[in-house]
Amino acid sequence: MAMNLDELNRIARAMVEKGKGILAADESSGTIKKRFDKIGVESTEENRRDYREFLFRSKEGMKHISGVILYDETIRQKARDGTPLVKLIEEAGSIPGIKVDKGTKALPFSKDETITEGLDGLRERLVEYRGLGARFAKWRATYTPTQGRPSYTCINANAQALARYAALCQEENIVPIVEPEVLMDYDNDIDACEAVTEWVLKETFQQLYYANVAPEGMILKPNMIISGMKAEKRARVEEVADRTVKVLKHCVPAAVPGIAFLSGGQSEEEATAHLNAMNAAHLNLPWRLTFSYGRALQAAPQKAWSGKADNVPAAQRAFAHRAQMNGLATTGAWKPDLEKKAA
């Protein structure tokens, strides 16, 4: 298929529209099992379908969701009444997308580092996913910011894979979400996160350039610049916001329409507060700053649902609340008081 950059740019801009962000509902079968284990729900195909179906049917929640990232199983599933889940997303005014990487594998000759796999056969899979309704895709690479890691071997190998994935997507008129994630689970300080993230982003955009990826037709999904979750001292909200914007200004071309952050294990309110602080303090940025959260949008509805049909309305309310709070954070209009009112 011949690339249509206007079309790619139109979709990318719609994905980062003001007041909205992306729902990352693309947990692999292993990851969704972990989430369901926590709430005592068996991870069957039907339960996974029911859960995702009520999210996509949440009218109030979906008002703030520009796009939904799906997993291979979900993009093929139908709702209880036979409507494809993809259609529910479209009817809610949102854009369906698909996770296309095949997960992280151990990087050879490198201790505790990973390379993301999934390039073999990707061109053909993208053609199929486009036919199933996907208009954007996601590929995630991960990096550990402790004990002399990541190595350049890891940064370079993952950047090359991200770049080839992104080029294949654009050839198929699918907007690539490029997700290089510096993990937040360690005891590193914010300085380490900043240094590693800057290096990773520099290399990623260099490889995107070599692979002829058009910045106008992609979305970046990075981590925030933040202290590790196990760090003794955690940086304040304003510091996270300012340092994140600084690094992005150093690394991300102005032609990229938008940056949609991952939540990475932050609490739901923390993820909202950080995004809000960036948008409140930094006006006139070249790109839009929004969310592409998994856990920070779904922890509350999962808990409220706990696998019981009777709890669906409460779970939909919990989802709508988080989506609305994050929607406000995309314009810097969120206030902590708004959380208390809803509680």
Active site residues: 221
- Shortest distance, CB of residue 147 to ligand 13P, whole angstroms? 22
Q: Per CB under 6 A, which of residues 126..165 are in contact with ligand 13P?
A: 140
Q: Are strands 288-293 and 114-116 parallel, antiparallel or unpaired?
A: unpaired
Q: Which of 264, 279, 320, 330 binds ligand 13P (CB under 6 A)?
A: 264
Q: To 5 degrees, how large is the angle CA 170–CA 174–CA 176?
A: 75
Q: To 5 degrees, how large is the angle CA 337–CA 338–CA 339?
A: 90
Q: Per CB under 6 A, which of residues 167..206 are in contact with ligand 13P?
A: 179
Task: Closer to ligand 13P by CB, 5 or 89: give it.
Answer: 89
- Look at phi and psi of residue 27 and say left if phi exceeds 0, alpha if psi is from -120 to 50, else beta: beta
Task: Closer to ligand 13P by CB, 255 or 296: give it.
Answer: 296
Any contact of residue 98 with ligand 13P (CB under 6 A)?
no
Q: Which of 293, 305, 319, 334 binds ligand 13P (CB under 6 A)?
A: 293
Intra-chain end-to-end CA distance of the chain, in Å: 50
Q: Which stretch binds ligand 13P (CB under 6 A): 73-81, 211-219, 240-248, 259-267?
A: 259-267
Within 8 A by CB and 6+ apart from 204, the residues are: 158, 159, 162, 163, 178, 180
Q: Which of 15, 167, 296, 323 binds ligand 13P (CB under 6 A)?
A: 296
Cα–Cα dist 241/249, whole Å: 12
Cα–Cα dist 77/47, whole Å: 12
Q: Which stretch binds ligand 13P (CB under 6 A): 12-20, 200-208, 232-240, 287-295?
A: 287-295
In whole angstroms, how far apart are CA 222 and each of 81, 107, 265, 291?
A: 37, 21, 13, 10
Q: Which of 9, 58, 66, 263 binds ligand 13P (CB under 6 A)?
A: 263
Q: Going along the chain, which residue ranges are E strands?
A: 21-24, 65-70, 95-99, 104-106, 114-116, 136-143, 175-182, 219-220, 258-261, 288-293
- Shortest distance, CB of residue 224 to ligand 13P, whole angstroms? 11
Any contact of residue 97 with ligand 13P (CB under 6 A)?
no
Q: Which of 150, 215, 258, 294 binds ligand 13P (CB under 6 A)?
A: 294
Task: Closer to ligand 13P by CB, 140 or 322: give it.
Answer: 140
- Shortest distance, CB of residue 82 to ligand 13P, whole angstroms? 28
Six token digits for residue 247: 């690094």
Question: What residues make contact with ligand 13P under the rule CB under 6 A?
Answer: 24, 140, 179, 262-264, 293-296
